[in-house]
Amino acid sequence: MTRAAALQRQHKPTKTAMLLAHSIIEELAEGDHPVGSILATEKQLLERYNVGRGVLREALRFLEIQGVLWTKSGPRGGLVVGAQDGSHLGSIITMQMQVLRTPLASVIEVREVVEPRAAGLAAERATMEQLENLGASVEEMRNTIGDVDPFLRSSAEFHDLIAWSAGNDLFRLLTTSLHWITDRTALGIDYSERRQRAVLTAHEQIYEAIRNNDADAAEKLMRSHVVDFRRYLESRYRETLQAPLRWEQAL
């Protein structure tokens, strides 16, 4: 039975829309569709799956919420492949954490487990291009000491690049989503120039371990770095660390 025939057998529009969303995901996974490319136009999908416009748009709304696709209007528009960068997973995790009244401290605790292993894998698997990008991120941090916003952007990029370099998509999505949550919810935290230099030193050491393919050192240094971050928050921002997360903070 074809996908279109299976869809037509469903009587409930919502269920049909979900089945259609599953089929579009299969199409996306089976083909070569780079981030930012057009998967298809609405007209093409209507013809391909033989469904009504309302069902298609409900399926597309679900996929857009998940960050898989987004709609580009205009004559050259269509369904654009989204970047799977962990931000939508971070949003979903934060929503669940608000319901459970889970504090930011729990995110840091998980980071202490996940990020060191990602750094160890990066030391074993990083490509030359990824090493160059990591080095450039460290250099950008050196050049922005004293300018908090660009410094923190470079710092966040460094962690994300390590996650990408681990060569494991689940590590990448989980690590980037946890860092994304921390970046958006640790509001009001000040980074003095002294603190920035301490972060830079930690990143330099982690980068060197990864560049030297020293997985054990990379893991130990990353664990120390994340633990140091938690202790910094405990000493200066305990209330922020223990406050339940709110979904609106991660949007």
Per-residue pLDDT tens over the stretch 43-77: 999 999 999 999 999 999 888 888 888 888 877 77
Mean pLDDT of 150-162: 91
User: Positive or negative, the Cα torsion across 196, 199, 200, 201?
Assistant: positive
CB 80 within 8 A of CB 39: yes
Model pLDDT, residue 77: 77
Predicted confidence (pLDDT) at residue 117 exceeds the cutoff of 70: yes
d(CA 31, CA 101): 40
- What is the identity of the amino acid at 13? P
β-sheet with 38-40: strand ranges across: 38-40, 78-81, 69-72
Predicted confidence (pLDDT) at residue 13 exceeds the cutoff of 70: no
- The tens digit of pLDDT for each residue in 223-248 reads 999 999 999 999 988 988 898 888 87
Task: Please identify which residue in the block is written with the tokens 């960068």.
Answer: 85
d(CA 188, CA 142): 23
- The tens digit of pLDDT for each residue in 140-153 reads 999 999 998 899 88
Predicted confidence (pLDDT) at residue 7 exceeds the cutoff of 60: no
pTM of the predicted structure, to 2 decimals: 0.78
Task: Please identify which residue in the block is written with the tokens 């922020």.
Answer: 240
